[in-house]
């Protein structure tokens, strides 16, 4: 079977993963790992003080968590798998092989977590009295521990992607988990999750309690204390994490925080981030000392800031590990470090399964160039959409003069000055073909559409190719 590589032109492949993953990160951190301890504490407080008010607030928040985590949360979790296996099958495939049992356990724990969430919420009104209420609170504590364990496991895999440590040589699971980024990242993510859940609690207090009441003040004080309690670990975790990040990654930070064009603004952005964090801490301080003084708006905005910060953090983490998808082992385009030289000698097309042209000839330059583009650039670039390659070349050369030999030479050397791009995994002929495709794309944007249509027609009669289990020719 011969079908095109998954390519979402305009929106961009990496944007698709980014959107799904960012929503998931917010829910998994803020509405699961961080939030269940908060509602359990609230419930416990209500029980100890024999107060319906606290219990009701806890129940209402849990209702929101229940709906969101079991729907959007679960769907985006599966969505990450779907999108990554379409867009980066070699990357996710390698991680699966390395972490098979770890991931097996992760899924097992995850399913249990969902079951616990369902039980915790649905038994709330029934297990109200005496020993049953105690059991219910214990259940909440158990659920909180379980959702944290999902983070303990997944952080090992995320850390591995940033710094694989001695794994490329030793190839042992233990060396993959015991990497220097693990504990700092866990400290950072745990405290972050707890703080986000505190911001979410502020947000929901605005809707679930009445303005000006004594109960709102007490609830605000509770959430503010919770947030402040996690700030020290958050500060330590952030610095520790940053210091453990490999030097090569830190060099990417200016483009990672914004884009190349706005890179010189990265310090301004860093300042804005610092101010946002400090503003949240100040609101929390006032919330503890003088909860009466906190206006409604100050309960709502911090969550928006928190979501933005979390999204930005994930962007930076994803970006600074470029050009790798798995540090020192596999580049972001799915080519492993050990394959690179072979591809640069023989070309990548002869080894690629899902392409029409397995070789570059004088007659198929543009067509084969399109194949090269699909295999080597589309993990990160579109043609004319988000991070579109045409506008990148326009920025470099202007719209008029796209010099052929200069472009071909640039393709081979781009990665040296733009450290976020992997080395071009093809030979000279393929670089020429890619240039031909890009040039024809510029002079005739309709070619994008034509090429797509032609592609679909021809590939239905394409010859079957020999694919290995991972979709790569052996």
Q: Which residues contact 216 (CB under 8 A, 6 or more apart)?
A: 205, 209, 210, 291
Taking CB under 6 A as the criterion, the residue among 136, 356, 370, 381 binding ligand HEC is 381
Burial 101-136 (b: 16+ CB within 10 A, else e): ebbeebeebbeebbebbeebbeebeebeeeeebeeb
Taking CB under 6 A as the criterion, the residue among 22, 28, 191, 332 binding ligand HEC is 332
Q: Contact 161/214 with Cβ under 8 angstroms?
A: no
First to last CA, the chain: 16
Distance CA 60, CA 343 (A): 57
Query: Maximum CA pair distance of the chain?
Result: 83
Q: Write the CA distances from 133 to 44, 63, 126, 381, integer angstroms.
A: 9, 17, 9, 55
Q: Is 379 in the site for ligand HEC (CB under 6 A)?
A: yes
Distance CA 169, CA 326 (A): 14
Burial 285-295 (b: 16+ CB within 10 A, else e): ebbbeebeebe
CB 57 → ligand HEC: shortest distance, Å? 44
Taking CB under 6 A as the criterion, the residue among 51, 56, 387, 440 binding ligand HEC is 387
Q: Is 5 in the site for ligand HEC (CB under 6 A)?
A: no
Task: Pick between residue 58 and residue 411 the one whose CB is nearest to ligand HEC.
Answer: 411
Dihedral over alpha carbons 354, 358, 361, 364 (to 10 degrees): -20
Taking CB under 6 A as the criterion, the residue among 94, 376, 382, 383 binding ligand HEC is 376
Q: Is 393 in the site for ligand HEC (CB under 6 A)?
A: yes
Distance CA 98, CA 85 (A): 16
Q: Is 189 in the site for ligand HEC (CB under 6 A)?
A: no
Entry field: residues in the chain: 474
Task: Pick between residue 71 and residue 395 the one whose CB is nearest to ligand HEC.
Answer: 395
Q: Is 40 in the site for ligand HEC (CB under 6 A)?
A: no
CB 408 → ligand HEC: shortest distance, Å? 10
Task: Pick between residue 14 and residue 189 the one whose CB is nearest to ligand HEC.
Answer: 14
Q: Contact 69/107 with Cβ under 8 angstroms?
A: no
CB 111 → ligand HEC: shortest distance, Å? 33
Q: Is 421 in the site for ligand HEC (CB under 6 A)?
A: yes
Closest CA to 430 of 354, 376, 353: 376
Q: Is 370 in the site for ligand HEC (CB under 6 A)?
A: no
Q: Is 260 in the site for ligand HEC (CB under 6 A)?
A: yes
Q: Is 347 in the site for ligand HEC (CB under 6 A)?
A: no
Q: Is 409 in the site for ligand HEC (CB under 6 A)?
A: no
CB 252 → ligand HEC: shortest distance, Å? 9
Task: Pick between residue 131 and residue 416 the one whose CB is nearest to ligand HEC.
Answer: 416
Task: Pick between residue 227 and residue 411 the one whose CB is nearest to ligand HEC.
Answer: 411
Q: Is 395 in the site for ligand HEC (CB under 6 A)?
A: yes
Q: Is 441 in the site for ligand HEC (CB under 6 A)?
A: no
Token readout for 304 is 């928006």
Q: Is 439 in the site for ligand HEC (CB under 6 A)?
A: no
Distance CA 301, CA 109 (A): 33
CB 366 → ligand HEC: shortest distance, Å? 15
Size of the site for ligand HEC (CB under 6 A): 25
Sole window of 118-126, 346-354, 359-367, 415-423 interacting with ligand HEC (rule: CB under 6 A): 415-423
Q: Contact 117/70 with Cβ under 8 angstroms?
A: yes
Taking CB under 6 A as the criterion, the residue among 216, 322, 370, 439 binding ligand HEC is 322
Binding site for ligand HEC (CB under 6 A): 255, 259-261, 322-323, 332-333, 376-377, 379-381, 387, 389, 392-393, 395-396, 411, 418, 420-422, 424
């Amino acid at each position: 079977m011969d079908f095109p590589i998954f390519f979402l032109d305009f929106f961009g492949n990496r944007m698709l993963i980014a959107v799904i993953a960012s929503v998931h990160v917010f829910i998994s951190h803020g509405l699961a790992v961080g939030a269940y301890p908060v509602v359990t504490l609230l419930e416990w407080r209500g029980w100890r003080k024999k107060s319906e008010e606290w219990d009701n607030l806890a129940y209402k928040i849990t209702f929101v968590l229940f709906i969101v985590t079991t729907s959007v949360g679960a769907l985006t979790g599966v969505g990450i798998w779907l999108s990554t296996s379409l867009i980066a099958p070699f990357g996710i495939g390698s991680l699966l092989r390395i972490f098979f049992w770890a991931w097996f356990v992760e899924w097992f724990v995850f399913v249990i977590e969902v079951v616990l969430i369902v039980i915790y919420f649905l038994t709330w009104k029934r297990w109200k009295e005496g020993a049953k209420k105690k059991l219910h609170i214990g259940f909440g504590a158990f659920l909180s521990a379980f959702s944290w364990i999902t983070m303990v496991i997944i952080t090992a895999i995320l850390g591995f992607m940033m710094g694989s440590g001695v794994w490329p040589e030793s190839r042992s699971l233990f060396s993959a988990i015991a990497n220097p980024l693990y504990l700092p990242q866990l400290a950072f993510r745990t405290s972050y999750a707890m703080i986000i859940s505190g911001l979410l609690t502020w947000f929901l207090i605005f809707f679930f309690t009445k303005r000006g009441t004594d109960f709102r003040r007490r609830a605000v004080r509770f959430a503010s204390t919770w947030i402040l309690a996690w700030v020290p670990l958050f500060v330590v975790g952030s610095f520790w994490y940053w210091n453990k990040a490999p030097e090569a990654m830190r060099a990417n930070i200016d483009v990672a925080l914004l884009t190349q064009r706005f890179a010189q603004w990265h310090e301004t952005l860093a300042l804005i981030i610092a101010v946002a964090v400090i503003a949240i801490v100040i609101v929390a301080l006032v919330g503890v000392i003088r909860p009466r003084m906190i206006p409604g708006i100050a309960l709502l905005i911090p969550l928006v800031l928190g979501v933005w910060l979390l999204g930005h953090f994930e962007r930076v983490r994803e970006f600074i590990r470029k050009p790798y998808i798995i540090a020192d082992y596999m580049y972001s385009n799915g080519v492993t470090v050990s394959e690179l030289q072979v591809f640069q000698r023989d070309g990548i097309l002869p080894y690629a399964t899902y392409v029409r042209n397995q070789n570059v000839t004088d007659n198929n330059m543009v067509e084969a160039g399109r194949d090269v583009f699909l295999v080597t650039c589309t993990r990160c670039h579109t043609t004319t959409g988000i991070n579109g390659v045409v506008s990148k070349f326009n920025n470099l050369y202007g719209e008029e003069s796209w010099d052929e030999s200069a472009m071909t030479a640039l393709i081979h050397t781009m990665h040296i000055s733009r450290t976020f791009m992997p080395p071009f995994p093809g030979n000279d002929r393929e670089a020429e073909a890619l240039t031909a495709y890009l040039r024809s794309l510029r002079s005739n944007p309709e070619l994008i559409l034509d090429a797509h249509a032609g592609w679909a027609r021809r590939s239905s009669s394409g010859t079957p190719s020999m694919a290995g289990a991972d979709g790569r020719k052996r």
